[in-house]
Every structure is written in C-alpha cells, then in structure tokens.
Amino acid sequence: MKINAKVEDDLLVGWGYASDERVVGEEHDGLTVYEADDISQLVGGHTHLIDGEFVLDTDYQESQPPEQQEPSPAEQIAALKQQNDELQSALLELSDILLSGGLS
C-alpha cells in the first residue's frame, strides 16, 4: 500500500493514503510517497523510518480512553428523586392550566 508521509529526522510526523498511481520516492507538497506493508505501525511521533521500513517505537503504548465512573447507588437515587419532583411539578402546573380553562 502506498502512503504519503512527512518524515523529519527519521521520525514519522504524519501520513495519509497515497494513490496507486504515485511513484515510491516521489515528493509533493512536503510529503514523500512510501510503500507500507503494515499501517498499524504508523503512529505520528512514535514511528521511525529505519532502513526504509517504518518501525513503531518498542515502548509505545496506545492511549486508553478515560474510565467512566458509574454514579453510586445513592447518587442514582438522588437523581431519580429530582426527576420525579420535576415531573410532579410539571403535572401540577398542567393540571392548574386545565382546571383554569386551558391555555388562552
């Protein structure tokens, strides 16, 4: 697969897919066309070009999404009580409107 890559001091800065019509080694707009067998190794700032091959840093660890903390049972109950209070208030307001003859 051909890619367009920006490499500075043998460090991959950024990359994207290249057209199959491009020639390996061709330069355009500050990018160079390379042949890449495994794009999973292409991580900007963590991949080096060594002997014409892209090699992912051995100490690179993929970032993990932040853990979502579940609300405690007490927090869940408090939220349900608040929602219930808001619904009761809205129902009372609607009831008052209907008893007073509706909307004008």
What is the span of the domain harbouring residue 30? 2-56
Whether 62 maps to a domain, the answer reads no
14-26 pLDDT tens trace: 999 999 999 999 9
Q: Count how many domains the chain has.
A: 2
Who contacts 16 (Cβ-Cβ below 8 Å, separation ≥6)? Answer: 3, 4, 5, 31
Residues 6+ apart with CB under 8 A from 80: none
> What's the pTM?
0.57
Please indicate, yes or no, if residue 61 is contained in any of the structural domains.
no
What confidence tens digit (pLDDT) does each residue in 31-79 have? 999 998 889 889 999 999 999 899 999 999 887 787 888 889 999 999 9
Q: Could you give phi then psi for residue 36, rounded to 5 degrees?
A: -130, 125
- Asked whether residue 63 is domain-assigned, the answer is no
Does 88 map to a domain? yes
Q: Do 76 and 49 lie in a common domain? A: no
Residues 7, 52, single domain; the answer is yes
